[in-house]
Amino acid sequence: MDELHRLTISQAHQLLKEGKISSVELTKASLRRLAEVEDKVHACVTINEDAALEQAEEADKAISGGKIEPLTGIPALIKDIMCTKGMRTTCSSKMLENFTPPYDATVIDKLKARKTVILGKTNMDEFAMGSSTENSAFFPTENPWDLDRVPGGSSGGSAVAVATDEAVYTLGSDTGGSIRQPAGFCNVVGLKPTYGRVSRFGLVAFASSLDQIGPITKDVTDCALVMRTIAGHDQRDSTSIPYPVPDYTKALIPDLKDLRLGIPQEYFDGIQEEVKANLQTAIKRLEELGAEIDWEVSLPHTKYALAAYYILAPSEASANLARYDGVKYGFSYQHADNMWEAMEKTKQFGFGAEVKRRIMLGTYALSAGYYDAYYLKAQKVRTLIRQEFDQAFEKYDALVTPTSPTAAFKLGEKVDDPLQMYLSDVCTLPVNIAGIPAISIPAGFANGLPTGMQVIGKPFGEETVLHIAFAYEQATDWHKRKPPI
């Protein structure tokens, strides 16, 4: 029983159901693992040990009464951008360092209703703005495959927690690749659902038309189990779509017969040779599993996605982050001579450099005389990108691309070069612009570092995306490899 922390959701659920282990034992195993590796990887901002053990006891009572669902009694960690009642929610920012929400996000409500055990909150780039988890106001998170490298971002803490078995699964958020890119860097599975598939109520807003909550897990089966729990319509979120939630586990079929997959060539421009070679090998495996592959797909507007994204996302961030004025909650500068100075200094000292950079970019793009030239034009490009995906999905069931153009880069390597940092998400952010689902799954190693394969689906095509990811996973063993920590 020393290896309980290594279990997947489906394995742990079976053992809990059979009474072979208890939720308290499983939770204690995760807490021991946290104590063992956390000082090496710094994945967590808050660990809530006492509350977690109380939740585990409640879960055991429910299980003994015959009430058990797939996530009942399973220990999870939550990205520190989702509101948790009674547990601080910092967004890894000095601005919210001591903020404790009075309510739970909808996804947390859903997990608590099923007696999931919440161990604590994971580190991230401040307000989800970054690709390396180096923009946290508290500390950077290290990649367990090489402690001198980044884990990706902004959900770096969530990906590392799964890779190191600190938690059985985690939740992340994805605005431009923030679930998939760290999943690729850390050799775990990360799914960004269709926009509107999972409620954003209680998710601290970065860019409201792009943000989406999703699971980070050890394998594709677990991803399907978490999605089945967190997906669904929520009246408290005006962008939530009232579609019925399928049983995603029924899509987990190990062959790909009758599926047509497109390979967009634009996603291979400028990527690391080893990443490219791994992906080509992975695509050939998909072909062996029965898929029909078209290597000559073109999505020409992809090259404009990065520029459009870095107008749209900062513009929305500029509007969303205006609420942090030091009056109602969060950090407040106390030594000002007047109200205007207090508001200015609150933002000056409360936000980090990257957040301030994006606020300024967004405010400029929305300002008088520049709105039409930048923001409006970016919205038109967004429409073209969405239409291009729609046209591709008339011919193909899914598209396959790299998750990131490189494997994990060194800590500090891109901190002073924002453009190079932004390019880390060049393969993932078109998906957010179009509002469609995509998954990253382990697909090999480059010089000892994990690389990911991204499968992109049509709107509400999570079942197809999970089907393809599962078939590939069953035919390979990349997901079984663990970091040497």
For residue 30, the tally of other CB atoms under 10 A from its CB is 25
Does residue 208 carry a catalytic annotation?
no
Radius of gyration for the chain, computed over Cα atoms and rounded to the nearest angstrom: 21
CA distance 139 to 100: 20
3-state secondary structure of 201: coil
CA distance 151 to 184: 9
- E strands, 25-101, are 44-47, 75-79
Among the listed residues 22, 23, 131, 154, the single catalytic one is: 154
C-alpha dihedral sign at 239, 243, 248, 251: negative
Among the listed residues 79, 115, 347, 414, the single catalytic one is: 79
Does residue 20 carry a catalytic annotation?
no
3-state secondary structure of 464: helix
DSSP state of 6: G
The upper half-sphere exposure of residue 320, i.e. CA atoms within 13 Å in the direction of its Cβ, equals 20
Three-class SS string for 378-405?
Answer: HHHHHHHHHHHHHHHHHHCCEEEEECCC
CA distance 364 to 379: 16
Among the listed residues 178, 240, 315, 318, the single catalytic one is: 178
Does residue 79 carry a catalytic annotation?
yes
Enzyme catalytic residues: 79, 154, 178
